[in-house]
Amino acid sequence: MSKFTRVLSASVLLVLVLASCVFAAAGDKQLHITFVAPLVANPYWDVVEDGAKAAAAEFNVDLDYVGSTSLDMNQWMSYLEMAISNKSDGIVTMALNESTIRPIVDRAAEAGIPITLVDTDAPGTKRAAYAGTDNEAAGKVLAENLVEITGGKAVIGIMTGALDQPNLNLRMKGFNDGIAAHPDMKVVVTEADNSDLALCIQKAEAMIKAHPDITVLAGMEGFGVPGLSRVVQENNLVGKVTVVGFDDLADTLQYIKTGVAKGTVVQRQYQMGYLGVKLICDIKDGKTVDSINDTGVVFLDKDSVESYDPRSGR
């Protein structure tokens, strides 16, 4: 081999080595992921945040966790717009309203920014994946446990959040389907509290006055059990009106421990936050991910509530 050939080969090798180092460095670049929550400083979403931060630490992610302290569609959309304009490597959020979120999710996807949805899915969008509860199935879990608690006989009042919120409507569908085979279980009234505890209490008071034959109050969102339980307690209806619902707010668990409420369907929101971040890391790493990742639910009653830990397991 001539001296010129040896020098040329060495030069080519050096270029290849330098190029591989550049590509390796690019591949090791810390991902910047934005998590847009519908609510911050909220007990349910605090646990979601813990899960997201755990995944961010595990996978070396620069995570921005942002959101407002009240359900505000305009603020929520502005945070999503900001995440796109800041060229986030990925976005995690939930679908407060599929028709509203569709344009921005699709635009992000077309710009190469994968979006994972947690808690509430929007399958008609170009979201990369969903990690959360199968809400229709969760509604059936609530119904099945209520049938067991009441022996299949109940006059039911339902308290939901927003009437156009997809996840809550799916829960109600699952719940109604679950009691359909029991003719002695009937829903006589459904009210919406817009995820506002004071409004829940106000409407529950009106509900039991308008329907004194109610034997069950069922909440479809987090403030349901605390609000309904307070009304039952203050009106001396403990033991006469059964309270059940969703989620694991501290007041919900306390009302179950004291016997004012009978039980609650608990979502695995820590796992939602964790998977929301992890799925984006997998996508950016070139891995194939499942479109739907069901995190499951657990029904807590007085016998199981003491051992419950919302942050346990993934």
Per-residue pLDDT reduced to its tens digit, 143-153: 999 999 999 99
Mean pLDDT calculated for residue range 221-231: 97
Q: Residue 2 has what pLDDT?
A: 52
Query: Strands of 263-267's sheet, edge to edge?
Result: 185-192, 154-160, 216-219, 242-246, 263-267, 297-300
Mean pLDDT calculated for residue range 124-137: 95
Same domain, 96 and 112: yes
Establish if 287 belongs to a structural domain.
Answer: yes
Q: Residue 312 has what pLDDT?
A: 66
What distance lies between CA 55 and its chain's CA centroid? 16
Same domain, 43 and 87: yes
Range of the domain at 119: 31-133+269-295
**Top-confidence residue, 238 or 21:** 238
Q: Which residue has the tokens 């739907």?
A: 292
Same domain, 175 and 103: no
DSSP for the chain reads --HHHHHHHHHHHHHHHHHHHHHHHHHTPPPEEEEEES-SS-HHHHHHHHHHHHHHHHTT-EEEEEE-SS--HHHHHHHHHHHHHTT-SEEEE--S-HHHHHHHHHHHHHTT--EEEESS--TTS--SEEEE--HHHHHHHHHHHHHHHHTT-EEEEEEES-TT-HHHHHHHHHHHHHHTT-TTEEEEEEEE-TT-HHHHHHHHHHHHHH-TT--EEEESSTTHHHHHHHHHHHTT-TTTSEEEEE---HHHHHHHHTTSS-EEEEE-HHHHHHHHHHHHHHHHTT----SEEE--EEEE-TTTGGG--TTS--
What distance lies between CA 278 and its chain's CA centroid? 15
Establish if 308 belongs to a structural domain.
Answer: no
Establish if 2 belongs to a structural domain.
Answer: no
Q: What is the pTM of this model?
A: 0.75
Establish if 127 belongs to a structural domain.
Answer: yes
Give the CA angle between residues 93, 98, 103 to the nearest 5°: 85
Same domain, 67 and 176: no
Assign residue 49 the CATH number of its domain. 3.40.50.2300
The terminus-to-terminus CA distance of the chain in angstroms comes to 60
Establish if 22 belongs to a structural domain.
Answer: no
* CB 200 within 8 Å of CB 173: no
Establish if 185 belongs to a structural domain.
Answer: yes
Same domain, 59 and 116: yes
pLDDT band at 17 (very low <50, low <70, confident <90, very high): very low
Same domain, 103 and 201: no
Same domain, 120 and 69: yes
Q: Residue 158 has what pLDDT?
A: 98
Same domain, 167 and 253: yes
Establish if 147 belongs to a structural domain.
Answer: yes
Same domain, 140 and 244: yes
Total domain count, the chain: 2
Same domain, 178 and 122: no
Q: Residue 104 has what pLDDT?
A: 94
Mean pLDDT calculated for residue range 97-116: 93
Same domain, 186 and 283: no
Tokens at residue 47, please? 């646990």
Cα dihedral value 197, 178, 295, 292, nearest 10: -110
Give the CA angle between residues 22, 23, 24 to the nearest 5°: 90
Q: Give yes or no for residue 198 having a pLDDT over 90.
A: yes
Percent of the chain residues topping a pLDDT of 70: 90
Establish if 220 belongs to a structural domain.
Answer: yes
Q: Residue 3 has what pLDDT?
A: 47
Same domain, 171 and 248: yes
pLDDT tens digits, one per residue of 48-73: 999 999 999 999 999 999 998 887 88
